[in-house]
């Protein structure tokens, strides 16, 4: 019998043991099964399936100007419609700006999770971070929304750090550097203000014992043929990457073991991670767990034209550790949707839809009315790019300064968020009696 240790979401309590076999062989699927029974893994987006389009989206790379309508069709997800928005408003009494402005635009089974919540069956939140570099503004937006969901619905969160994936994906990666980024990224996560009593951070290489039994169950049911179809793996892909997807899928089912009952899971994340969850959803019923639901965000653009903000392109990203002068310099050098000259801008207007500065302000800082007014002023030629950049600088600098202040405080809080209540420690202590 496989024994799972229960994650400690309290303080001063010893880990409790529970059986991974309890109750799950005979779970009733009535509440767990999504209404979308027709989904097939063969329809899942593979790495090369968008080559005929002008953009490409995979779990590891986003290139070009993404057409989100076409992406929904390719991934087989569902738009967040008015019916779901009304469900959210009925439960919370409000609609978050990220839903209003469609930054979160797509989902799988969000309506089912909300329905379960109304019945008293609370969901868990699950999201993650691959520590390939410093955290930038694009990473923060889904975290801001995740914190909102945790606070508004009063639910627990599992935050996975996929340090193994980042080491395996890049053949030039250095594990010591990844460990450094892991520590730094965790400070950013804590700085977001997640509830330490309801949040546990799992670092894959550190906490694999919590994930491995479940990941083995998942791995046993995935063929190499399926993995190639979903992720585009080839004969030259290292076997570590081929074996990684079940580890990322494991936290989808961990809450059911923690709570000793079938527990819904909602994953707020950018849509490029969807292939992992699509594969996991296909296996959920076979393993006796509810299918993980998802709510997908768009990508925040980089400071250059096309693609998403990326840690691998430091000049085009605003990092949480950037000082005030660097932030101002980067914003001033940002690509915009403006015309080449002031005269043409006044005459033709700018292209707000293609302007990163407009979208940063829209998503993070402007309210609905301010954003509408900014859009009209830009496209009518009554607003110049320098004015928007100035607004961005005034708003993003204190925003980042607040995060940097909270990062310093977070250094003394790490043990409150780890599974075992201990500090991060990379020492290996092997003893022979």
Q: For residue range 86-98, list pLDDT tens digits in order.
A: 999 999 999 999 9
* Residue 83 predicted with pLDDT over 80: yes
Strand partners, 268: 295
Distance CA 252, CA 266 (A): 9
Query: In angstroms, how far is CA 87 from the centroid of its own chain?
Result: 23
DSSP string spanning 255-303? Answer: HHHHHTS---EEEEEEGGGHHHHHHHHHHHHHHT-PPPEEEEE-PPB-S
Backbone angles phi, psi at 422, to 5 degrees: -115, 160
Query: Predicted confidence band at 309 (pLDDT cuts at 50, 70, 90)?
Result: confident
The CATH class for the domain spanning 46-297 reads alpha beta
Backbone angles phi, psi at 354, to 5 degrees: -110, 20
Query: Predicted confidence band at 32 (pLDDT cuts at 50, 70, 90)?
Result: very low
Contact (Cβ atoms closer than 8 angstroms) between residue 319 and residue 134:
yes
279 Cβ neighbours under 8 A, 6+ residues apart? 41, 44, 222, 226, 230, 245, 249
The alpha carbon dihedral of 292, 295, 296, 297 has a sign of: negative
* Residue 393 predicted with pLDDT over 80: yes
Give the pLDDT of residue 7: 53
Distance CA 89, CA 5 (A): 37
Query: pTM here?
Result: 0.85
Q: What stretches of 119-235 show up as alpha helix (H) in DSSP?
A: 137-153, 163-169, 175-191, 208-219, 224-231
Distance CA 264, CA 259 (A): 11
CB neighbourhood size of 154 (10 A): 10
4 Cβ neighbours under 8 A, 6+ residues apart? 17, 18, 19, 20, 210, 213, 257
Q: What would be the CATH architecture of the domain defined by 322-414?
A: Orthogonal Bundle (1.10)
SS3 199: strand
Specify the DSSP class assigned to residue 79: E
Distance CA 136, CA 158 (A): 21
22 Cβ neighbours under 8 A, 6+ residues apart? 260
* Residue 307 predicted with pLDDT over 70: no
Q: For residue range 158-181, list pLDDT tens digits in order.
A: 999 999 999 998 888 899 999 999
Query: Which range, of 62-71, 73-82, 171-180, 340-349, averages the lowest pLDDT?
Result: 62-71
Distance CA 149, CA 126 (A): 11
Strand partners, 125: 157, 266
Give me the residue spans of the domains in the chain: 46-297, 322-414
């Amino acid at each position: 019998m496989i024994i799972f240790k229960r994650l400690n979401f309290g303080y001063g309590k010893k880990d409790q043991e529970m059986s991974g076999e309890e109750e799950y062989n005979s779970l009733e699927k009535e509440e767990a099964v999504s209404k979308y029974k027709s989904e097939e893994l063969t329809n899942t987006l593979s790495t090369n399936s968008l080559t005929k389009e002008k953009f490409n989206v995979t779990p590891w790379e986003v290139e070009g100007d993404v057409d989100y309508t076409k992406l929904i069709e390719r991934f087989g997800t569902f738009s967040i419609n008015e019916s779901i928005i009304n469900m959210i408003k009925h439960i919370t009494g409000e609609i978050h700006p990220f839903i209003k402005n469609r930054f979160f635009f797509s989902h799988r089974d969000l309506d089912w999770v909300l329905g379960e919540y109304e019945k008293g069956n609370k969901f868990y939140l699950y999201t993650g971070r691959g520590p390939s570099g410093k955290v930038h503004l694009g990473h923060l937006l889904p975290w801001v929304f995740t914190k909102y969901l945790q606070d508004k619905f009063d639910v627990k969160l599992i935050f996975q750090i996929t340090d193994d994936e980042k080491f395996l994906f890049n053949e030039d990666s250095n594990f010591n550097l990844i460990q450094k980024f892991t520590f730094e990224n965790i400070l950013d996560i804590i700085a977001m203000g997640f509830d330490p009593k309801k949040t546990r951070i799992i670092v894959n290489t550190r906490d694999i014992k919590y994930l491995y039994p479940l990941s083995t169950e998942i791995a046993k049911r995935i063929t190499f043929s399926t993995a190639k179809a979903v992720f585009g793996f080839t004969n030259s892909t290292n076997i570590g990457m081929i074996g990684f997807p079940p580890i990322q899928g494991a936290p989808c089912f961990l809450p059911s073991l923690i709570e000793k009952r079938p527990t819904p899971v909602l994953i707020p994340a950018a849509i490029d991670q969807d292939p992992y969850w699509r594969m996991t959803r296909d296996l959920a019923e076979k393993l006796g767990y509810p299918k993980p639901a998802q709510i997908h965000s768009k990508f925040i653009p980089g400071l250059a034209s096309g693609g998403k903000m990326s840690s691998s392109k430091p000049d085009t990203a605003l990092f949480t550790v950037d000082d005030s002068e660097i932030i101002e310099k980067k914003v001033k050098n940002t690509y915009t949707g403006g015309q080449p000259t002031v005269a043409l801008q006044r005459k033709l207007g700018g292209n707000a839809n293609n302007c990163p500065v407009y979208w940063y302000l829209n998503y993070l800082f402007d309210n609905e009315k301010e954003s509408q007014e900014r859009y009209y002023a830009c496209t009518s030629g009554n607003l110049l790019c320098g004015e928007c950049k100035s607004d961005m600088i005034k708003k993003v600098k204190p925003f980042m300064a607040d995060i940097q202040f909270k990062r310093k405080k977070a250094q003394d809080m790490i043990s409150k968020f780890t599974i075992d209540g201990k500090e991060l420690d990379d020492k290996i202590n092997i003893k022979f009696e």
